[in-house]
């Protein structure tokens, strides 16, 4: 099972190698504005899933929000430790 750190390493590597067909590369190319819109969209989907959908669907929406937050971290050059130190 993939962990937060596994996904972050994969996304970071794709940002450098830029493989063809990568959704991450496409999202990074949309920039902070585009990534921010995806974060807001996914956050709303998390909220709606928590209100009206199953726990499994909620978990999936949360995973997508985590993914887009990680893309924003990579876009801005933040490492997980930059986040953890605020927790």
Ligand X SMILES: N=c1c2ncn([C@@H]3O[C@H](COP(=O)(O)OP(=O)(O)OP(=O)(O)O)[C@@H](O)[C@H]3O)c2ncn1[C@@H]1O[C@H](COP(=O)(O)O)[C@@H](O)[C@H]1O
The residues of the shown chain that bind ligand X, judged by CB under 6 A, are 10-11, 14, 22-24, 64, 67
Q: 68 and 39 in contact (C-beta within 8 Å)?
A: yes
**Main-chain dihedrals φ then ψ at residue 44, nearest 5 degrees:** -65, -40
Task: Residue 68: count other Cβ atoms within 10 Å of its Cβ.
Answer: 19
Minimum distance from residue 79 beta carbon to ligand X (Å)? 17
Packing angle of the helix pair 4-17, 55-76 (nearest 10 deg) = 40
Q: 35 and 72 in contact (C-beta within 8 Å)?
A: yes
Minimum distance from residue 34 beta carbon to ligand X (Å)? 10
Minimum distance from residue 67 beta carbon to ligand X (Å)? 4
Q: Which is nearer to ligand X, 22 or 72 (CB)?
A: 22
Q: Which is nearer to ligand X, 60 or 78 (CB)?
A: 60
Q: Which is nearer to ligand X, 34 or 78 (CB)?
A: 34
């Amino acid at each position: 099972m993939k962990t937060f750190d596994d996904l972050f390493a994969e996304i970071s590597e794709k940002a450098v190698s830029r493989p063809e067909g990568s959704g991450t590369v496409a999202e990074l190319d949309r920039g902070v504005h585009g990534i921010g819109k995806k974060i807001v969209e996914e956050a709303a989907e998390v909220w709606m899933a928590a209100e009206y959908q199953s726990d499994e669907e909620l978990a999936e929406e949360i995973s997508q929000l985590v993914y887009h937050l990680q893309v924003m971290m990579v876009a801005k050059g933040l490492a997980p430790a930059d986040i953890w130190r605020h927790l």
